[in-house]
Amino acid sequence: MKSKHSIVREYIQSKILDGTYVPHQKISSESELMERFSVSRHTVRLAIGDLVNLGWLYRKQGAGTYCAERNEMGSNDYNQKNIAIITTHISNYIFPSIIQGAESFLSKNDYQVSLYSTDNNHENEKKILEKILTHHVDGVIIEPTQSAISNPNINYYLNLEKSNIPYIMINAYYDELEPLSITIDDEKGGFIQTEHLIEQGHENILGFFKTDDLQGTRRMKGYLKSHRSNHLPIRPSNIITYHTQEIMTKPQEELKKILELPNEEWPTAIVCYNDELAMLLLDVLRKKNIKVPEDISLIGYDNSILSRVSEVKLTTIKHPQSEMGEAAAKMILNLIDRKQGLNKEEVEESIVYEPELIERNSTKDIRELV
């Protein structure tokens, strides 16, 4: 259980990190903090004293306590080499492969790895960034949270920059920060998914896209571009979008509604945001006794283990996974070396992987049936 003075201390640190208190601004008075946390003046003074000793605050005799100008935020323990890896998820889907690729390379270079998961939630992201900024790390590899939505935690990333802590982003990035990033060309990937189906004779193609992440909006853009490139009319009702918290409900319910229509109005193919969603929709089709690909073709994205373990082997788009993780590890260590003046010549650039179609047996050429 946290002590009362550590709760007050962490509150003040949080207000500094989110920009509420800026350098040389006076913080809340002792009386205000006493009232807010229902604690004694002694407890408040202990908390403030800790932060003064750590360089977060400074006192002016007879005037109060002020936010300090800080170049480094965190503890004074710089002996351990540590990289933080923040992903939207850790233990499922493609994330273990990405993490393993990064962790393997970092451990060979004597770096410890601290793993964090935001569950694609901005509040969780904020707490993790606060923790990182108050503990020593040499660099951060980050998968952005809900990257298609304006991020409320931008101040924390600016504090990373101010503290001279290198960071890179994987899978997506916050456009306003223009960070170094390692991504896949998701727009092209969405185009390839849809193009493959169109080349097989499909015209009524349903698309499911998660649109709170940049990957989903770009894959949807590729879906639309492929239709236009092939002079195929786009049916607005064929585009179904959902957010992270809706993944277990909305896509399945929307597909069930479509399957209640007369058979001749059914789509002949479905483009899925990723393999995980494809498996959820495959379960809906299976319960309706609809066969893949005989009745409806299905295409995924990411070439995850899920695309290979089902009785229907998914046609999908390759994601570099472990290769991306290793590339991220190399990039962050190069940035740390540059910061330390060890590799002044090399300038890092963002990496964009080319998507590649992996064709299996979940899609079917229907041109011979026309």
Q: What is the CATH number of the domain that holds 86?
A: 3.40.50.2300
pLDDT at 77: 47
Residues 364 and 235 in one domain: yes
Q: State the Cα–Cα distance between residues 180 and 144, nearest whole angstrom.
A: 12
Residues 287 and 305 in one domain: yes
Q: Phi, psi at residue 203, to the nearest 5°?
A: -125, -30
Residues 284 and 334 in one domain: no
Whether 292 has a pLDDT exceeding 90, the answer reads yes
At 213, the amino acid letter reads D
Closest by CA position to 272, among listed 324, 322, 215: 215
Asked whether residue 332 is assigned to any structural domain, the reply reads yes
3-state secondary structure of 263: helix
Asked whether residue 76 is assigned to any structural domain, the reply reads no
Residues 284 and 141 in one domain: no
Asked whether residue 292 is assigned to any structural domain, the reply reads yes
Rg of the chain over Cα atoms, rounded to whole angstroms, equals: 25
Whether 76 has a pLDDT exceeding 50, the answer reads no
Spell out the residues 6+ positions from residue 206 whose beta carbon is closer than 8 angstroms to its own. Answer: 238, 240, 255, 258, 267, 269, 270, 271
Q: State the Cα–Cα distance between residues 16 and 10, nearest whole angstrom.
A: 10
Asked whether residue 241 is assigned to any structural domain, the reply reads yes
Residues 258 and 167 in one domain: no
Residues 307 and 327 in one domain: no
The residues that bridge with 271 in the sheet, in sequence order, are 207, 299
Helices of type H across 134-176: 154-162
Q: How many domains does the chain have?
A: 3
Dump pLDDT digits (tens) for 92-132: 899 999 999 999 999 999 999 999 999 999 999 999 999 89
Pick from 67, 94, 117: which residue ends a domain?
A: 67
Residues 157 and 269 in one domain: no
Asked whether residue 74 is assigned to any structural domain, the reply reads no
Tally of CB atoms within 10 A around 264: 6
Residues 342 and 236 in one domain: no
pLDDT at 370: 46
Residues 298 and 335 in one domain: no
Note down the domain range covering 124. Answer: 82-179+322-353
Dump pLDDT digits (tens) for 142-169: 999 999 999 999 999 999 998 899 999 9
Which tokens sit at 42?
């002694």
User: Where does the pLDDT of residue 70 fall: very low under 50, low under 70, confident under 90, or very high at 90 and above?
Assistant: low
Residues 26 and 136 in one domain: no
Residues 195 and 291 in one domain: yes
pTM: predicted TM-score of the whole model, two decimal places: 0.82
Q: State the Cα–Cα distance between residues 328 and 85, nearest whole angstrom.
A: 10
Residues 193 and 263 in one domain: yes
Mean pLDDT (the chain) is 91
